[in-house]
Amino acid sequence: MSGRREGSCSISAEERLAEFVRTARLEEIPLTAMEIVKNQVLAIAGTTIAGATADGCEAAVRFYRELGGKPEATILIHGGKVPAQDAAFVNAVMGRALDFCDSMAPGPHPGAAIFPAALAASELMGGCSGRAFITAVAVGTEVATRLNLSEAAYDGFDPTGICVPFGATAAASRILGLNLKQTWDALALAFNNCGGSFQSHVDGSLGVRFVQGRVAQSALLAVRLAREGITGPKNFLDGVYGYFHLYAKDMLTGETATSELGTRYDLTKLVFKKYPSCALTGGSTDVMLKLMAEEKITAEDVEQIEITVPPYTHKLVGHGFRIGENPKVNAQFSIQYCVANALIRGASKLIHFEDEYIRDPRIMELTKRINVIQEKSLEARGHSALDMSVVSRSGREYRRSLDIAPGFPGNILTKKEHEQRFWDCIDFAGDRMSRQNGEKIAALIDAIDTLDDIRRLIPLFASGRP
């Protein structure tokens, strides 16, 4: 292999990463980490079902069906087969569309790219045991986690488009049985596919969910090309123009990223949202709902709300709320909308991010009384920290603070809350998914490591579609 440093016998970070992707064993992954991965798969199953007809999803289905090609992998819910990389694209867009999938500070969404890439690879392979599948998803998620960067390093790059391509590629490489050289090349080709900007989120564009699709699609392409002998830059992590220079601004190295790889699992940093919007809106939503329950506050009582958040949160979800071309995306990425919705409806559910709810005149009036400001000192308290002040029409002020939003490490969801997330998605899907099939999907995922073939899940996604 040519990936070792000149004048050194040590193994490069790139080789260490590729070797981990190939050789990690299910038995070596801690049970707590595997439970998280099962929750991740359940979450993506639910969000894919619920998001199947969200804005842009049916257009993506039509586009790739009309484009045609070899029928290799299934478009979930809608049915039909297209080339594996195209199926991964469409399924990833659906999985991300409602922004209720798993995520991680400061913003990557691993599962909605890794799951569809792994599923498409399983079909391309002609079958894959549940044990092999869940191991591949765990490995891919760990790779994405290890290459996740800080807020300062991303500096406006969409983390999903930067670190998750490696995770989706790792999962697909594992399932397709690539050797060390091929895996190394696939990861290197994934490096050349990194990209994406948070401007899509700020402007409320459908580009948010299509970045997710591109990541899953490019993973399959990278793996398939590597399998055909196409090479990528060997020093894609620590090279002079490698990942840690271009994207991490030399604040990290391959050595630190791959330290204890295979013995310590960082995927425990995954975030599972309690509410169906950007994770950085979840804290404000939760604080408002609890304040309402404790103090019996209603929307009519409120004169003014001030919410203080760290600068990163403010840039992404603290700007003034507007309807825009894509109301759902704007609502998902707006603290003002999410807090106003909680006040008016006493909850935050998937249906509340539908057009008719977003355009409710009461929402628009109330958002004008919600002010979101930034304060750098809050960064010391955590990624999702916030302070909230609510002034009533009678002049009384209520103050609440939160350091860790629900679903983040340190404030994780219960098993019941994970199950409720899934069933919220099934209920939201309506006649696209029967309760019976939802129960079968949940049961198969719960026992995924005993499945003889992961493809047994696929017909359950197709059943019940209009």
Q: Does residue 246 belong to any structural domain of this protein?
A: yes
- CA nearest neighbour of 327 among 210, 212, 203, 197: 203
Q: Does residue 308 belong to any structural domain of this protein?
A: yes
Residue type, 452: D
Give tens-digit pLDDT for 58-79. Answer: 999 999 999 999 999 999 999 9
One domain, residues 251 and 293: no
One domain, residues 19 and 108: yes
CB count within 10 Å of CB 420 equals 13
Task: Return the structure tokens found at 422.
Answer: 């899934």
Note the pTM of the prediction, 2 decimals.
0.92
Q: What's the rounded mean pLDDT across residues 442-446?
A: 97
Which residue among 269, 295, 312 closes a domain?
Answer: 269
One domain, residues 187 and 255: yes
If pLDDT is split at 50, 70 and 90, which confidence band does 466 have? very low
One domain, residues 315 and 345: yes
Q: Does residue 207 belong to any structural domain of this protein?
A: yes
Q: Which domain holds residue 115?
A: 13-269
One domain, residues 257 and 300: no
- The residue that leads in pLDDT, 276 or 5, is 276
Count of structural domains, the chain: 2
DSSP-derived letter for residue 412 is P
If pLDDT is split at 50, 70 and 90, which confidence band does 91 have? very high
Give tens-digit pLDDT for 416-428. Answer: 999 999 999 999 9
DSSP-derived letter for residue 236 is T
Burial class (CB in 10 A: 0-12, 13-18, 19+), 101: buried
Question: Has residue 297 got a pLDDT over 80?
Answer: yes
Read off the CATH number of the domain in which 364 is found: 3.30.1330.120
- The residue that leads in pLDDT, 110 or 319, is 110
One domain, residues 301 and 230: no
Give tens-digit pLDDT for 341-375. Answer: 999 999 999 999 999 999 999 999 999 999 999 99
- CA nearest neighbour of 343 among 400, 298, 296, 307: 298
Question: Has residue 175 got a pLDDT over 90?
Answer: yes
One domain, residues 244 and 287: no
In angstroms, the CA 60 to CA 57 distance is 5
